[in-house]
Amino acid sequence: MNLILFGPPAAGKGTQAKRLVEERGFVQLSTGDMLRAARASGSELGEKVAKIMDEGGLVSDEIVIALIDEQLEVQAGAPGFIFDGFPRTVGQADALDRLLESRGNAVNRVVRILVDDDKLLARVTKRFEEQGRKDDNPETFSKRLEKYYEDTAPLVPIYAERGILVEVDGMGSIEAVAAAIDAALKETA
Ligand code: B4P
């Protein structure tokens, strides 16, 4: 099973991915986490992406696709992957199809987490207070949301047409969203 957790910034993709890893043994591939790790290590890649992330932009397709390709290689043999925050553009989605197909695999399910914009902003504000993540200020968040609608949301009809998209209410508590995801996966198994 290869699953994409899909949704706007701060929808809870990372939060739910971590839980699914614990409960179902998936391997989580989060491009956001990979990019933050690159920054923390002070690598050349980290320096290259820092400004883009702080300004709420999207890192180039070339960079994130290479990161995913590398991880698919390193983690070959995993029972299934959860793609968290990837793909974020049509180019990334096409690349993911190619990368999986070349390994005899495919995307089986896309779980879209639905959350209203004002709730997303409230979550980001709370996370900023708790963790001080630089891109969690209201100005950068509005840029991230704009990029989501421009570049990422167009993937919704593509996956819907393939019949692999399921939508869940992401407005409730972490536990309620988890239950909604489990129910949606069970229904479409
Ligand atoms: P990400 O790390 O993917 O950040 P995100 O969209 O904010 O995360 P997510 O939806 O996972 O939210 P989370 O669970 O943490 O990306 C960061 C940046 O990296 C991007 O802006 C971009 O620059 C770059 N990037 C990453 N991938 C890229 C790609 N493929 N292409 C190009 N650029 C890329 O939840 C958010 C908060 O809400 C948390 O504090 C959580 O505790 C809380 N929360 C979650 N669910 C909740 C619930 N149900 N109720 C209450 N609070 C909840």
Distance from the alpha carbon of residue 12 to the mean position of ligand 1, in angstroms: 6
The dihedral built from the CA positions of residue 162, 163, 169 and 173, taken in this order, carries a sign that is negative
Distance from the alpha carbon of residue 122 to the mean position of ligand 1, in angstroms: 13
- pLDDT tens digits, 118-134: 999 999 999 999 998 88
Which CATH number describes the domain made up of 2-179?
A: 3.40.50.300
Q: Which residues contact 65 (CB under 8 A, 6 or more apart)?
A: 91, 92, 95, 96, 99
Partners of 112 in beta bridges: 6, 167
Mean pLDDT value across residues 143-149: 97
Q: What was the pLDDT predicted at 33?
A: 96
Looking at this protein, which amino acid is placed at residue 145?
L
Q: Where are the domains of the chain?
A: 2-179
85 CA: nearest ligand 1 atom: 3
Is residue 189 predicted with pLDDT exceeding 80? no
- pLDDT tens digits, 48-87: 999 999 999 999 999 999 999 999 999 998 989 999 999 9
Cβ atoms of 90 and 154 within 8 Å: the answer is yes
Whether 144 sits among the annotated catalytic residues: the reply is yes
Mean pLDDT value across residues 152-156: 98
3-state secondary structure of 151: helix
